[in-house]
Amino acid sequence: MIYAAKWVLPVTGSPVEDGAVAVKENKICDVGKLEALTDKYPEAEVKDFGLAAIMPGFIDAHTHLEFSVFRGIVDDLPFSYWKIQLANKAKKLSDEDWQASADIGAMEAVKSGITTIADTSTEGYSLNSAKKYGLRGFIFAEVTGLNPADVSKIMSKTKKRVGDWQSKVSGTKLNIGISPYSTYTVSPPLYKAVNEYARENNLLLSTHVAGTKDEYEFVKYASGPLATKFKKIAGFDDVLWQPTGASPVKYLEQWDGFEGNVIAVHCVHVNAMDLDILAKYNVKVVHCPRVSAKLGMGIAPLKGLAQRKLKIGLGSDSPASNNTVDLFEEMRVGLYLQRGLNHTSEGFSAEEFIKMATIGGAEVLGLESEIGSLEPQKQADIIAIDLSRSYQIPTRDPYSAIVYGANQANVVFTMCGGQVLYDREHSFIDETQAKVEKARSKLRE
């Protein structure tokens, strides 16, 4: 099968005008000019998307699809109070509600051109959804516990959960990782235990780090709303938390938090010393610009991360925090914020943000040899983006048209591993919508 469009963006190579991608079974077998590929494969069927761009599927390197039902429910609050409201409302949902929530998130991801996710989950609802809708990626088993006395019990349950999930994803495009949630929900010895377990079992580890000023104050000074109100709601009120005198990054280093294969999500409140620590351990970073902006968390210093040659991917976080599973908006908002922060349009381009959303995310997840670019023998994770709208014409620079002018509604085709997950001409209809509305009615009460 040959897929053609006005533009083909291999990402690791120059854009191809009047280009095409040849696919056989689950892999890409050729990329080049349409005329050359039809001559080379005369028997192949051709699907031409016209004035569109074909590119690798987006890689959402950090998300919580299970919280999709909270879209617009807890808006316009600073991070800690948003987190508190979320925790309170989450208690109202049933297992069926959570599953429907994860399903609607997975559906949106597919329709938005996302083919790979890195999702953090407690009960595994997003695992079920990713399997159902054909997504690739990692499901990270979330670990929490602020009481040092509970480490052995928590690790025993975690190991069983990871084993069960690994059995469930056997034969799929999914992998299992582990996620000690954050510095304000995981005790120092538990962080150490999880990290040791991850290294011993070759598991990818993902954790939220230095996302907010409140987290910084919790770790360094044992103060702020995370140390008082949230700690109580999370069930850690009886746990004594002492000031560490260290930044979240330095604190995690002291407890071997960055040993092994580690992803640090957010990294907003970091200084030069923190950045050097991340570089020392070759930590991969996921940038989630919209949630950081919407919840008033701050702006991550991408320039400092890039200067230290750290691998950087993009994440949507969740519709609970920024309303949509949309890497177009992450690219656009992320680029704008960096230019505003650094008072210059130099340093980051539309092309560089597309790379963060594709090959950058693949590098973060250790999948760059399989996905993230359009190259022969890589997995056929391909999307097509309509560029025929009035606000996109004329289109001489496809990178510019996609980052500055496109959105999730412009995705017309999504393929993962040679399997068509979404085609706007034959869009799927799902019963999940009604279930989600039922769950949302509980959250409004």
pLDDT of residue 18: 97
pLDDT of residue 378: 98
pLDDT of residue 425: 74
Q: Mean pLDDT, to the nearest integer, of 26-42?
A: 97
**Tokens for 244?**
């560490």
Spatial distance between the Cα atoms of 63 and 286, rounded to a whole number of angstroms: 10
Element (H, E) at 118: strand 114-121
The 8-class DSSP code of residue 402 comes to H
CB 9 within 8 A of CB 49: no
Higher-confidence residue of 370 and 443: namely 370
Higher-confidence residue of 46 and 444: namely 46
Q: Mean pLDDT, to the nearest integer, of 273-302?
A: 97
Spatial distance between the Cα atoms of 162 and 95, rounded to a whole number of angstroms: 19
Q: pLDDT tens across 54-68, in order?
A: 999 999 999 999 999
Q: Mean pLDDT, to the nearest integer, of 144-167?
A: 97
Answer whether residue 285 shows pLDDT above 70: yes
Spatial distance between the Cα atoms of 318 and 239, rounded to a whole number of angstroms: 29
Strands (E), 133-204: 136-143, 174-180
Q: Mean pLDDT, to the nearest integer, of 200-209?
A: 98
Q: Mean pLDDT, to the nearest integer, of 26-40?
A: 98
pLDDT class of 429 with cuts at 50, 70, 90:
low
pLDDT of residue 391: 72
pLDDT of residue 350: 96
Answer whether residue 444 shows pLDDT above 80: no
- How many alpha carbons lie under 13 Å from residue 95 in its C-beta half-sphere? 3
- In 3D, which of 367, 329, 352 has the Cα closest to residue 135? 367
pLDDT of residue 325: 94
Q: Mean pLDDT, to the nearest integer, of 389-416?
A: 89
Class of domain 2-57+373-423: mainly beta
CB 267 within 8 A of CB 291: no
- In 3D, which of 175, 160, 163 has the Cα closest to residue 206? 175
pLDDT class of 445 with cuts at 50, 70, 90:
low
Q: 3-state SS string over 263-330?
A: EEEECCCCCHHHHHHHHHCCCEEEECHHHHHHCCCCCCCHHHHHHCCCCEEECCECHHHHCCCCHHHH
The share of the chain scoring above pLDDT 90, in percent, equals 82
- φ, ψ at 14 (rounded to 5°): -70, 150
The share of the chain scoring above pLDDT 70, in percent, equals 97
Answer whether residue 430 shows pLDDT above 60: yes
Answer whether residue 257 shows pLDDT above 60: yes
pLDDT class of 131 with cuts at 50, 70, 90:
very high
Q: Mean pLDDT, to the nearest integer, of 23-37?
A: 98
CB 294 within 8 A of CB 326: no
Class of domain 58-365: alpha beta
- Region of 418 (left: φ > 0; alpha: ψ -120 to 50; beta: rest) is left
Domain ranges for the chain: 2-57+373-423, 58-365
pLDDT of residue 390: 62
Q: Measuring CA to CA, how many Å separate 261 from each of 281, 335, 366?
A: 9, 27, 9
Is 207 exposed, middle or buried, given 0-12, 13-18 or 19+ CB atoms closer than 10 A? buried
Answer whether residue 441 shows pLDDT above 90: no
CB 31 within 8 A of CB 10: yes
Q: Indicate the pairing of strand 312-314 with strand 284-287.
A: parallel
The pTM of this model reads 0.95
Answer whether residue 432 shows pLDDT above 80: no
pLDDT of residue 72: 87
Higher-confidence residue of 313 and 91: namely 313
Q: Measuring CA to CA, how many Å separate 197 from each of 62, 202, 335, 358?
A: 21, 8, 37, 29
CB 209 within 8 A of CB 300: no
Mean model confidence pLDDT for the chain = 94
Q: Indicate the pairing of strand 382-386 with strand 419-423.
A: unpaired
Q: Measuring CA to CA, how many Å separate 6 from each of 9, 55, 161, 327, 402?
A: 10, 12, 47, 22, 13
pLDDT class of 244 with cuts at 50, 70, 90:
very high
pLDDT of residue 230: 85
